[in-house]
Amino acid sequence: MAKDLISQILKNKSDVKRESLQVTLSRIKKRLDLKSTDQAACYYIKKNNLDINVSSIIDDVTRRAVQDEFAPATKHIARRKLPKLPSKSEDPFISDVAFSAASNNAEIYPTVYLFENSVRNFVAAVMKKDYGENWWADKVETVNTGVQKNVTIRRLAEKEAPWHSSRGADPIFFTDIDDLKTIINSNGAVFRKILAGKYNHLIVWIEEIEKTRNILAHNNPVTKKDRDRLMVYAHDWSKLAVIVFEKLK
């Protein structure tokens, strides 16, 4: 039956190749712990809302998998709903100024988050290209011993609190924005080759955004001037990131 279902799926989705579909069905089968490719195919059909009648084929196991997948998200949200942001009337220690600053800071935090992670991934990509996949472990001098030490301390601290969210398996995720600048400066020749005339620009962007980041991290209000500068520098990096990404392919 699976071959027949696969043929019907391919008729409905002309942009999908047979080999690709078979891999997808295999993954669905494994992820949902289904017993057959037929079950996975039925799930795929329902999930993609394909016009294929499987009412006489789909079994209870697959039906439950589909229902669980499409269960209203509100059921899960209701169980772990976070408290709303307090207002001045609810917390006498919060002033109107602090409440306004919290809202303003919240608007720019995503930009800081994306900038730092973009630079982090950029640094990792450059180092891998020049020193290989094991650059962190094999080329200690290229990373900088101070950065290595910082990361080791953070990783050990995380192990002592296993109930807390993990930063990730790769050491680069334990670096902060200043560590990233240090790695870039420690490998100036490598990064200058990629960044060309924009090397100093990136260093300035990191340094300036780091200042704003630190204000955010310590829950202090960020001025409009600093917010505007942050947005301009983050935008400029995004434009440059498109160019250097192509170079690293």
Predicted confidence at residue 58, as pLDDT, reads: 61
Return the C-alpha torsion angle 38, 43, 45, 47, nearest 10.
-170
**Residues 53 and 131 grouped into a single domain:** no
Answer whether residue 22 shows pLDDT above 90. no
Q: Is residue 84 part of a domain?
A: no
Q: Which of 75, 108, 136 is the last residue of a domain?
A: 75
Answer whether residue 79 shows pLDDT above 80. no
Q: How many Å from the N-terminal Cα to the C-terminal Cα in the chain?
A: 42
Answer whether residue 37 shows pLDDT above 60. yes
Q: Is residue 81 part of a domain?
A: no
Which one is predicted more confidently, 192 or 143?
192
What tokens does 173 get? 């995720």
Predicted confidence at residue 188, as pLDDT, reads: 92
What tokens does 115 get? 């900038």
Predicted confidence at residue 143, as pLDDT, reads: 67
Q: Are 136 and 143 in contact (CB under 8 A)?
A: yes
Based on C-alpha coordinates, what's the Rg of the chain? 25
Mean residue pLDDT of the chain comes to: 80
**Residues 111 and 225 grouped into a single domain:** yes
Q: Dump pLDDT digits (tens) for 144-165.
A: 677 888 888 877 876 666 655 6
Interhelix angle for 224-247 vs 188-195, to 10°? 90
Q: What is the spatial distance between Cα 147 and Cα 200, in angstroms, rounded to a whole number? A: 21
Answer whether residue 204 shows pLDDT above 90. yes
Q: What is the spatial distance between Cα 108 and Cα 145, in angstroms, rounded to a whole number? A: 32
**Residues 157 and 195 grouped into a single domain:** yes
Question: How would you class 205 by CB atoms within 10 Å of its CB: exposed for 0-12, middle for 13-18, buried for 19 or more?
Answer: buried
Whether this model's pTM surpasses 0.85: no
Q: Is residue 25 part of a domain?
A: yes
**Residues 101 and 187 grouped into a single domain:** yes
Q: Residue 9 is part of which domain span?
A: 2-75
**Residues 108 and 218 grouped into a single domain:** yes
**Residues 220 and 116 grouped into a single domain:** yes
**Residues 149 and 233 grouped into a single domain:** yes
Q: Is residue 90 part of a domain?
A: no
Predicted confidence at residue 101, as pLDDT, reads: 87
Q: What HEC string does 94-153 produce?
A: CCHHHHHHHHHHHHHHHHHHHHHHHHHHHHHHHHHHHHCCCHHHHCHHHHCHHHHHHHHH
Q: Dump pLDDT digits (tens) for 84-111.
A: 656 555 777 888 788 888 888 989 999 9
> How many domains, in total, are found in the chain?
2
Angle at 207 between CA 232 and CA 113, to 5 degrees: 65
Percent of the chain at pLDDT > 70 equals 77
